[in-house]
Amino acid sequence: MFGSLKKKLSKTVSKIADKIYSKGNEEEKTEGNKINKINNEKKEILNKKENELSEVAQSKTEAYTKDTGVVAKYNAQIESPSKLEEEIEKKEKIGFFDKFKLTKTIKKVLGKDVILTEDDIADILEELELELLEADVAYDVVERLVESLKNQLVGTKITAKDNPEEITINALKNAIKEILSQKNMDIYELIEEKKKSKEPVVIVFVGINGTGKTTSIAKLAHKLKNKGYSVVLAAGDTFRAGAIEQLEEHAKNIGVRVIKHQKGADSAAVIYDAIQHAKARGIDVVLADTAGRQATNINLMDEIKKVVRVTKPDLVVFVGDSLAGNDAINQAEEFNNAVNIDGVILTKVDADAKGGAALSIAYAIGKPILFLGVGQRYEDLEEFNVDWMVNKLFGDEEVKYSTEREF
Ligand SMILES: Nc1nc2c(ncn2[C@@H]2O[C@H](COP(=O)(O)OP(=O)(O)OP(=O)(O)O)[C@@H](O)[C@H]2O)c(=O)[nH]1
C-alpha cells in the first residue's frame, strides 16, 4: 500500500541527506584546507622564529662567550623546542585567544556543522514536486508539503551529532502530519454518546457510482457488530438494478437487518423508515446506502440534498475510490459543497499503488478520513489516523493485503 509514494519519499530523504553530507564534507574539505594552511603558516613562523632565535643566540653567544651561564641559558632554550615554541608563541602573540580562535576554527571545521540554503535543496524539492504530482497528490497538497519541508530544513544548523537521514525523515513526517491534521472523528464515541439518549447514530453514505459505498457499509456493519453494537441497514439505493439485492446479500452474510422499499421508491422515505425502526428497537446504528451519482448531475445532487434534509443524519460519509486519484478529490469537494461531508471512506487502497488520494482528499475538503477500504473481505476496513498513515509511508514493513474475495 502506498508503494510508489513510499519510494518517492525515501528517494527524497536520501538525496537531501547526501546533500547534507556532501556540504559537510565540502565544509570539512574547505576547513581541512584551512587547517593545512594554518599549520603551514605556523610551521613557517616557527622556522622563521627559530632562525631568528638561533641568530640571536649565536650573536649573544659570541657577545657573552665569557659568561657561560648566559650561554647555557640560551643553549637550554635552543635545546628544548617546547620552550622554544613557548618563546615563539609569546613572540608571535599566538597566545590563548589566538589559540582558542584556532581551536575554534578547527572545531568548526572538524564539526561538519552544516546550514542548508534554499539553493542547496531547490533541485531536490523540484523533483519531489513532480514525483508527488505523478502519484496523484493534489497540487495544493504538493505545494504545502514542499513549503513545509523547506521551512523546516533551510537555515537550520545540522551538527555532527545529528543524523541527516533522521532530520529529513522527521521533517517529511511533520509536513505530512500538517496536511493530515483535520480534526479526527471517533465514531465509537459518537455511538456511546447517542446511546445515552437512546438514539441511533444515523450515517448516510454518498459518492459516485462504483466507488464502494454498498461494500463499505457492509464492512462497517461487520466491524460495528464485532464491537457489540446493533446495526440496521437502509437500502437507500433504490435506483441501481440489483443494489437492494446486493445489500440484502451482505446483510444476510453479516447477520443484520435491512429496511427496504421497492425499486424506484423515494430514498429519503426508506432511510426515514429505517431510523424509526432503529428507534423503536433501541438499535445503535443505522447505515444508509444511497444511489451512486455524478456530482455534475444537478437532479441527483438535489435528491441527495433532500435525503440529508429529511433524515438529518449524524454523519454524511463520502465514499471515494482511491484509484480515481485526483477525480476522487474533485468529487469529494463537489459533494462537500452540496451536503457538507463529515468524513471520508477511501476504498480500494489495497489496489492503489499511487496513494496520492489518501494524502490529498482530507486536506482538499478539510474533513478527516475515517476508514480505508483495503480489500474485498468484510474485515478489510482499516481505521485511519495520521500516525498509522505516517507509519505506512515511512515504516519498514511491506504491507501485503489478501486478494481473497468474500463478496
Ligand atoms: N480491492 C477492493 N475492491 C473494493 C473495495 N471496496 C469495494 N470494492 C469493490 O468495488 C466494486 C464496487 O463496490 P460497490 O460497493 O458495489 O460500489 P457502490 O459504490 O455501491 O456502487 P454503486 O451501487 O454503483 O453506487 C465491487 O466489486 C467491490 O468489491 C476495496 O477496498 N478494495
Q: pLDDT class for 354, splitting at 50, 70, 90?
A: confident
Question: b/e string for 256-270 if b means 16 or more Cβ within 10 A?
Answer: bbbbbbeeebebbeb
Across the range 109-128, mean pLDDT stands at 83
What is the CA(270)–ligand 1 centre distance, in A?
22
Kindly indicate the confidence band of residue 109, based on its pLDDT and cuts at 50, 70 and 90. very low
CB of 203 closer than 8 Å to CB of 231: no
pTM of the predicted model as reported, rounded to 2 decimal places? 0.78
Domain 187-384 has CATH 3.40.50.300: yes
Show me where the domains of the chain are located: 1-32+103-181, 187-384
pLDDT at 130: 94
Query: 261: closest CA among 283, 243, 235, 224?
Result: 235
294-310 average pLDDT score: 90
Interface predicted TM-score (ipTM) of this complex, two decimals:
0.98
Ligand 1 atom 6, closest CA: 212
Known binding site for GTP: residues? 207-214, 289-293, 347-350
Which range is least confidently modeled, 31-35, 308-312, 358-362? 31-35
Highest mean pLDDT among 174-183, 283-292, 321-330: 283-292
**CATH fold of 1-32+103-181:** Four Helix Bundle (Hemerythrin (Met), subunit A) (1.20.120)
Q: Over the stretch 36-69, which tens digit does the pLDDT of each residue have?
A: 766 777 777 777 777 776 776 666 656 555 555 5
Please give the helix or strand (H or E) that residue 19 lies within, else none.
Answer: helix 3-63
| Cα 373 to averaged position of ligand 1 atoms, centre (Å) | 9
Q: Are 288 and 203 in contact (CB under 8 A)?
A: yes
